[in-house]
Amino acid sequence: MPRYSERPYGLKPATGPQFPAHAQPISTAPQATARPVWVYERDGKRHPAIFHRGQWMKVVPQQRDPYSGTTRIAMNGDIVHDPIAWTSS
């Protein structure tokens, strides 16, 4: 049995957050639309958001219409502080 290993024990390689292959830089995100997009922060967290008054605001589903099946969304006042990428779905 070898005394030394080629792999260190207990250490993981340093990797950054993983984004989808179709993610684009936040500078190319649509800003004049009411349709939310997925916005990614530096740590890899994603949020549905809308660009409103110069900043990215998180949106949440609010209520569902029982007749048509559509869901309304609303901004909850939370800001995405450091968005770096976006995807449409």
Split at pLDDT 50, 70, 90, the class of 12 is low
- Within a domain: 2: no
Nearest of 18, 86, 16 to residue 48 by alpha carbon: 86
User: What is the C-alpha separation between 22 and 28, in angstroms, rounded?
Assistant: 13
- Within a domain: 15: no
Looking at residue 87, its pLDDT comes to 95
Enter the DSSP assignment of 26: G
User: What's the pTM value of the predicted model, to 2 decimals?
Assistant: 0.74
Q: Reading across the β-sheet that carries 46-52, which strands appear in turn?
A: 24-25, 83-87, 37-41, 46-52, 55-64, 71-79
Over residues 28-86, the pLDDT tens digits come to 999 998 899 999 999 889 999 999 999 999 999 888 888 998 888 899 999 999 999 99
CA geometry: angle 38, 76, 48, nearest 5 deg: 5
Looking at residue 79, its pLDDT comes to 95
- Within a domain: 59: yes
- Within a domain: 64: yes
Of 15 and 73, the structure prediction assigns the larger pLDDT to 73
Enclosing domain of residue 72: 24-87
- Within a domain: 35: yes
How many structural domains is the chain composed of? 1
